[in-house]
Amino acid sequence: MNALNSDKMITFLTETALEAGVAIMGVYAGEIAVTVKSDASPVTEADARAEAIILEKLKAFAPDIPVVAEEEVAAGRIPVVAERFFLVDPLDGTKEFINRNGEFTVNIALIEHGVPTAGVVYAPALGDLYVAADGKAYHAAVRDGVAEAPAAISVRPASGAVTAIGSRSHNTPETQSYLGNYNVTDFRAAGSSLKFCLVASGEADLYPRFGRTMEWDTAAGDAVLRAAGGSVVNLDGSPLVYGKRNQPSDSDFANPFFIAAGGLSPLPA
């Protein structure tokens, strides 16, 4: 990682996510005021507080690397994207946050040449932290704001029975049609980027997404899953890439439909 070596990156991502999580939980403990953005998605004070913390930390840690952050983009502040940049979603799963089910996350990812090479996904209400850098992925429990010793995670090998995971807030007929190609014996619903992490840790095999997402929604979880031995691909089998600008059919940083998979093939035979 050149100057951003793996140990420094993991430490930075962990500390930053934990601090953002404290700010989020401060809002979570009280009354949650919700406003609606121009794209009709909800936003809360927790989003703003967490993003401000993350941006300040990133500026100090890597001042020369551009940062694409969800609320900054919503405000029209979009940097020129270089070969290396950060993607930030300060509070992924705002609907889960508003509904108080705990399944919301802090997401920070480093993108290099279109590939998510490092990332952190932190679920502060659940006390689960997933972090990846330099091809290694880990999970750590968080107790009283402190991360315990991390344990390496990896996807599970393919087997005859498939556990699929999907969005708690968004599901589509295309998802069900796709899953019909596999022997799905269990389906789990989960919010936010936790879906990637459950595949990365071997608790599920497939996460198909036939719905709109933005790059900041997926990059950190994608980094964790790839480092754990999984894959995230477009419907044609090519890897999902980041830094998509000037797209003829969609807005900047919008993702196509994709499949996230553990040890089995994301494309049915």
SS3 content of the chain, % helix, strand, coil (to 5): 30, 30, 40
Check if the beta carbon of residue 79 is closer than 8 Å to that of residue 69: no
* H helix count then E strand count, the chain: 7, 15
Rounded alpha-carbon distances, angstroms, from residue 160 to 39, 80, 132, 260, 264? 41, 46, 28, 18, 10
If residue 202 lies in a helix (H) or strand (E), which one and from where to where?
none
Residues in the chain: 269
Structure-block tokens of residue 162 = 């498939």
Please give the annotated binding residues, written as ranges: 70, 89, 91-94, 217
CA dist., res. 179 & res. 55, Å (int) = 38
Please give the annotated binding residues for Mg(2+), written as ranges: 70, 89, 91-92, 217
Check if the beta carbon of residue 130 is closer than 8 Å to that of residue 146: no
CA dist., res. 239 & res. 233, Å (int) = 4
- Tokens 């941006």 map to which residue? 55
Please give the annotated binding residues for substrate, written as ranges: 70, 91-94, 217
If residue 192 lies in a helix (H) or strand (E), which one and from where to where?
none
Structure-block tokens of residue 83 = 């070969």
CA dist., res. 122 & res. 141, Å (int) = 10
